[in-house]
Structure 1
Amino acid sequence: MRLLFIATLILALIPMQSFAHAWMKLRIATSEYAPYTSTDMQQDGYINHIIADAFLETGVEVEFVSLPWEEALEATLRGEYDALSYGNFVRSREREFYHSNPISAESLVFYVNAEKGPKTWSELEELKDLKMGMTQGYLYNDELAAFIKDNENVIQRANDKENFQALIDGEIDIFPIDELTGWYLLQREFSRGERRDVMTIKPFVSTITTHLLVPKGTADSQLVLSLFNKGLEELTLEGKLTRFKRLLKEGYYQHPQKKVNYDRR
């Protein structure tokens, strides 16, 4: 509490741009989830660029450590890392993590097998007899988390690419993923013919907000959360979040040897 008080006092008295050197260093667990987080991308990906710059606004330096998602989640809960980048807002996660203020808002959509899948939907109950692919360890939103829990037709795979392959091969009928990640992955990893075998359906599932996840119960958790939220506020006021979003749409955050033409979406 004393450290939090001192940090709050510093932030209140010193303009953000006056921090010439880091007074605090954090280690943040992350995962490979292009184009939002990836060690192969500029600035470690779009979300990590925002996180690093938000902390820098408050004089905090960040080191990202890339791990498989479930390992990153468990290691952060054990206190090995100060925070986790990143997670969608899911209420059940609030028992163990603080959600930062929203970093971005994205559209969660359903991809379906173009031949076997439905052309539209209105309620999750309509989809209960379909084979739905899910990525292990992911909580998409509260409604889907509840749907997954009690549905025997949900098939979990290790990653999004495997789910798309299963969708193309007709092993599953439907797969939820955020729209940009799905489009990006299909462009990078699959042929034009394979991409014709899948499509999105309307309406989109929901708008999901992304957050830095800070583990509860550690000595500095409230401090880390406060520093990040303060820095994120500064980025918003300075117009940098708008700039970073533009860079995302222009294709700045991508693998240098596997570039994707975002204008062809």
Structure 2
Amino acid sequence: MRFLITLTLLCALVPLPSFGHAWLKLKIATTEYAPYTSTEMQHDGYINHIIADAFLETGVVVEFVSMSWEDALEAAKSGEYDAVSYGNFVRAREDEFFHSEPITAESLVFYVNKNAGPENWRELSDLSEHKMGVTDGYLYNDELASYIQAGSNIVKNSDDDTNLRALIQGDIDVFPIDELTGWYLLERDYSNAERNKVMAIKPFISTVTTHLLIPKGQSDSQLILALFNKGLESLTLEGKLTRFKRLLKEGYYQHPQKKVNFDRR
């Protein structure tokens, strides 16, 4: 109880955001999964921009260090890093990590080949006559994961880009991916003619929430979680999360030289 009272008071009294007056610096392990996280993008990607600004709201600055997903999780658990950016909500991970409040909520959808894929679906069994590409190692929801494991129409590929290429070429008919990632990859790597060969269909499969992952068992884990959640709440109330999403759609993170009105509401 004393710890919680101290934590609450500390969160209420933290300094105003300023790089020059930061009272705490954190190291966060991150991965290459554009547009959410990427060393090749402005602010290390869309999600990392939100994370850095949320911490800055509480007078905390962060340093992102990029590595593989598996290394990021292990390094954070061993205490080398204060958090991992980012992870979808996975209940099985709660034994080892705190999930922050949701940073974003994204739709997991089916992209289809316009000529060969279905126009819509209601049950996964509706897709049994269509070749479905999936990305090896991706964590799908339980229902879709069970369907993939049992299905005879499944084609596994190593990454999302390979699946999108296969979808455009007609080697597969259907591909589940979160809608924002699908949009970003299609905009980044494909021509208008290629993009016109695919589309997202309704309904969406599920809603996926993104989170900062803070390893449990560290002395300051709950403090870091509380600070981040407080800063994230401030960004939400200020309308900045909506603005950051708009900036992504306008190409700011991909092309930082592009002139956009960063501060408009």
What TM-score, normalized to structure 2?
Answer: 0.83
CA displacement at 1:52 relative to structure 2:
0.4
Q: Provide the aligned length of Structure 1 versus Structure 2.
A: 259
Conserved in 2, the CA contact under 8 Å of 1:27 and 1:83? yes
Residue identity over aligned pairs, in percent, reads 71
One-letter code of the match for 2:126?
E
Amino acid of the residue matched to residue 190 of structure 2? F
Are 1:11 and 2:2 counterparts? no
Unaligned 5+ segments in structure 1 are 260-265
Contact persistence 1:36–1:47 (CA under 8 A): yes
Deviation at 1:4, TM superposition (A): 7.1
Partner residue of 1:23?
23
CA shift digits 1:136-190 (9 cap, x unpaired): 3322434334434444544433321111112223333211112222122112112
* 3-state SS, counterpart of residue 10 of structure 1: helix
Contact 1:22 1:61 in 2 (8 A): yes
Partner of 2:243: 243
- Using the TM superposition, give the Cα deviation of residue 211 of structure 1 relative to its aligned residue in structure 2, in angstroms: 1.2
Deviations 1:217-245 (A, max 9, x none): 33332222111111111222233223323
Distance 1:234 1:256 in 2: 25
Deviating more after overlay: 127-136 vs 26-35? 127-136
Aligned equivalent of 1:52: 52
The corresponding residue for 2:262 is none
Task: After TM superposition, give the deviation of residue 129 of structure 1 in Å.
Answer: 5.3
Q: Retained in 2: the 8 A contact 1:132–1:153? A: yes
Residue equivalent to 2:120: 120
Give 1:85's aligned residue.
Answer: 85
On the 8 A contact 2:11/2:226 being kept in 1, the answer is no
Give CA-to-partner distance per residue, 1:41-93, whole Å, 9 cap, x none: 11112111110011111222111112233443343344432211112223233
Deviates more, 1:229-238 or 1:84-93: 84-93
Distance 1:78 1:107, change over 3 A: same
Q: Indicate if the aligned counterparts of 2:17 and 2:60 stay in contact, CA closer than 8 A.
A: no
Could you tell me how far apart the structure 2 residues matched to 1:110 and 1:116 are? 13
Q: Tell me if the contact between 1:98 and 1:215 (Cα under 8 Å) persists in the aligned partners.
A: yes
CA displacement at 1:199 relative to structure 2: 2.1
Partners of 2:14 and 2:28 in 1: how far apart?
Answer: 25
The answer to whether the Cα contact below 8 Å between 1:88 and 1:140 also exists between their aligned partners in 2 is no
Aligned positions of 1:187-206 closer than 5 A: 187-206=187-206
User: 8 Å contact 1:117–1:173 — kept in the other structure?
Assistant: yes
- The two structures have a TM-score, normalised by structure 1, of 0.83
